[in-house]
Amino acid sequence: MKLLSIASTIICTFQLASADWQYRSRSDLAPPRLNITISAEGTSPGYLFVAPFSGFPDVGNSHGPRQAAPYIFTDKGELVWSGFSYFSIWATNFQAGRVNGENVLFSFEGSHNPGYGHGHGHITFLDENYETVKELRAGNHKIIDKHEFHIIDEKTGLVQIYQPVPYDLSPYGASKKQQWVVNAIFQELDIETGKVLFEWSSLDHVSPYESVLPINEGQAGAGFNSSDAWDYFHINSVDKDKEGNYLLSARDAAALYKIDGKTGEVIWKLGGLPGITTSDFKSEKNLTFSFQHHARYLRTSEDGSKQIISFFDNSAHGTENKNGKQVSYNSASSGKIVEVDTKNKKATLLFNGVAPYGLLAKSQGSTQVLPNGHVLVNWGSEGAITEFDSEENPIFHAFVDSGSLGEHAENYRAFKFNWTGTPHESIAVASYVTDGGSNIYVSWNGDTRTEEWEVFSVDSNGDKNKVSTAKRSGFETKIHLPGEIYETVVVQAFDKNRKFLGESAQVKIQDEILPYREAEVETFVDDLQPVLSWKQTYFDWRKLSF
């Protein structure tokens, strides 16, 4: 008896992978329910790509998604694909991309150390059937970290590596016992062969003096041993432009660096904190940023003297003033677009998408400029996503899970992509007796083509008889068939041109005995509106003359 009650306590406390009965055809799935708080007309076409997970599950029963995994959603909050069980261990930075002409999904997959913000693993690629087609590891006997994988020209991949090394840290305020530092490394890999085409290491080019993260006892990264190495630079993104030069976001230097693609030398540094960081540019007053993520080149002028870049400005850090407390420089995080003018040594803020609800992300985050000029910003540790139109208005906002599960949900990066999925998983069907009729539930995890379902009853000879045609609605379609109880059914899928796509297994009808509550399965859409307190200046950076 005693043992049993301990077991049930454990089960109640860790409801991690338990099914939540959102979908009767997929009682194995318990995806996060997006809490959509802003939902205006005119969002960009495309699906949302996220990988929500539980941050620190240490308060009450708030613990993030039941099934932390990569997911594809519509911006109405409908599930398109649950990647739960597709990746082992922990997965993040989930995206769609193209490699050598093929559409792929990819994600970091590996172990995760949330306290230090590091991961160890590899990049896993899936094809349009959601089958694993490749894994990519770093070269030169190093281990890929979770922060970056970025495809260049469909051929190469940029990855970064945290490599702890012993180092004399006494000039930076460390005691004799603190002698481990993180060498922040990035590599450009040939995706096909895994060959290292370029490798760069921070200690060869950037002095620890450029860090804005002091080396202190009592905070993550105090240098006492290799797992506690001082993370003085912390590369969290790498991009490459047409000229072959790299762009780094170095969180713990609160700066962006442009790196020569041949020599590895620093071409310029854009520091985010005037008076604290050094910078090769004079920044306009409204351009302070810090502890940023996800810097991307957007455009380069013909003569190369001006570049437009985007990044996520956290303006907050979790562990790191002298007492190991949170520090912040702006009152909310933001997605930024900045013009860097190397001729006039000037940096100008062109777009500033400020977090609704004053969200301040002390870790993680991303900013994706969409083809139509909208900007999708992901608020990292705050577990939320916003789509801004090109005038900085939030037109979509969602927290990545709901209720108590939403309280500790975090999400490293979020993207919007077009995607066609042709799953090898089969069509899932559940069928229930209801008031002398049948209720059929049908879904197809990851399929993006089905427009119509056809339901057939199967008689004792195995002959099929069509009993209904129904439009697909969302992830799971409920088809109510009054007046008849069909003992066995199969369901077929058709695309918009009435092309046959697939057929489910034969499914027997069951009695309706399950504790199913409709109210719990709706996606939450609150009418809560954000406070529009920031300045609404319209500056369309796309209309610039180059």
Ligand X SMILES: *[C@@H]1O[C@H](CO)[C@@H](O)[C@H](O)[C@H]1NC(C)=O
Question: In the range 197-236, which residues lie near ligand X by CB under 6 A?
Answer: 222, 224-225, 227-228
Nearest to ligand X of 46, 121 (CB atom): 46
Question: In the range 512-531, which residues lie near ligand X by CB under 6 A?
Answer: 524, 526, 528
Nearest to ligand X of 168, 284 (CB atom): 284
In this structure, how many other beta carbons lie within 10 angstroms of the beta carbon of residue 152?
A: 18
Distance in Å, CB of 476 to ligand X, minimum: 20
Distance in Å, CB of 96 to ligand X, minimum: 9
- In whole angstroms, give the CA distance from residue 90 to residue 70: 9
Nearest to ligand X of 37, 187 (CB atom): 37
Distance in Å, CB of 22 to ligand X, minimum: 14
DSSP for 233-251, written as a single string? S-EEEEEE-TTS-EEEEEG
Contact 380, 359 (CB under 8 A): no
Query: In whole angstroms, what separates CA 513 from the centre of its chain?
Result: 38
Rule CB under 6 A: say whether 386 interacts with ligand X.
Answer: no
List for the chain the helix, strand, coil content (%; round to 5). 10, 40, 50
Residue from the set 42, 244, 274, 371 that interacts with ligand X by CB under 6 A:
371
Nearest to ligand X of 67, 352 (CB atom): 352
CA distances from 50 to 70, 135, 342, 479 (A): 6, 20, 35, 29
Nearest to ligand X of 198, 329 (CB atom): 329
Distance in Å, CB of 392 to ligand X, minimum: 7
Residue from the set 402, 431, 438, 492 that interacts with ligand X by CB under 6 A:
402
Q: Which amino acid is at 297?
A: Y
Rule CB under 6 A: say whether 37 interacts with ligand X.
Answer: yes
Residue from the set 22, 25, 35, 179 that interacts with ligand X by CB under 6 A:
35
Binding mask 44-73 for ligand X (x = CB under 6 A): xxx---------------------------
Rule CB under 6 A: say whether 534 interacts with ligand X.
Answer: no
- In whole angstroms, give the CA distance from residue 124 to residue 122: 6
In this structure, how many other beta carbons lie within 10 angstroms of the beta carbon of residue 131?
A: 11
**Side by side, which strands form the sheet with 180-190?**
149-152, 156-166, 180-190, 196-201
Nearest to ligand X of 85, 227 (CB atom): 227
CA distances from 189 to 27, 157, 235, 299 (A): 40, 5, 17, 23
Q: Which residues contact 462 (CB under 8 A, 6 or more apart)?
A: none
Distance in Å, CB of 348 to ligand X, minimum: 6
CA distances from 121 to 143, 186, 426, 538 (A): 6, 15, 30, 42
Choose the binding region for ligand X from 41-49, 102-110, 168-176, 268-276 (rule: CB under 6 A): 41-49
- In whole angstroms, give the CA distance from residue 436 to residue 545: 68
Nearest to ligand X of 268, 417 (CB atom): 417
Nearest to ligand X of 358, 437 (CB atom): 358
Nearest to ligand X of 348, 450 (CB atom): 348
Q: Which amino acid is at 51?
A: A
Distance in Å, CB of 528 to ligand X, minimum: 6
Size of the site for ligand X (CB under 6 A): 31
Distance in Å, CB of 458 to ligand X, minimum: 39
CA distances from 253 to 56, 225, 277, 319, 529 (A): 25, 22, 7, 14, 35
Contact 295, 241 (CB under 8 A): no
Distance in Å, CB of 47 to ligand X, minimum: 8
Q: If you count them, how many residues does the chain have?
A: 546
Nearest to ligand X of 174, 189 (CB atom): 174
For residue 277, what are the β-bridge partners? 274
Choose the binding region for ligand X from 13-21, 121-129, 396-404, 442-450 (rule: CB under 6 A): 396-404
Nearest to ligand X of 264, 373 (CB atom): 373
Residue nearest to ligand X (CB): 46
- Quickly tell me which residue has 């932390």 as its tokens: 68
Rule CB under 6 A: say whether 370 interacts with ligand X.
Answer: yes
Which residues of the chain form contacts with ligand X (CB under 6 A)? Answer: 35, 37, 44-46, 222, 224-225, 227-228, 284, 286, 348-349, 351-352, 370-372, 399, 402-403, 406, 416-418, 524, 526, 528, 537, 539
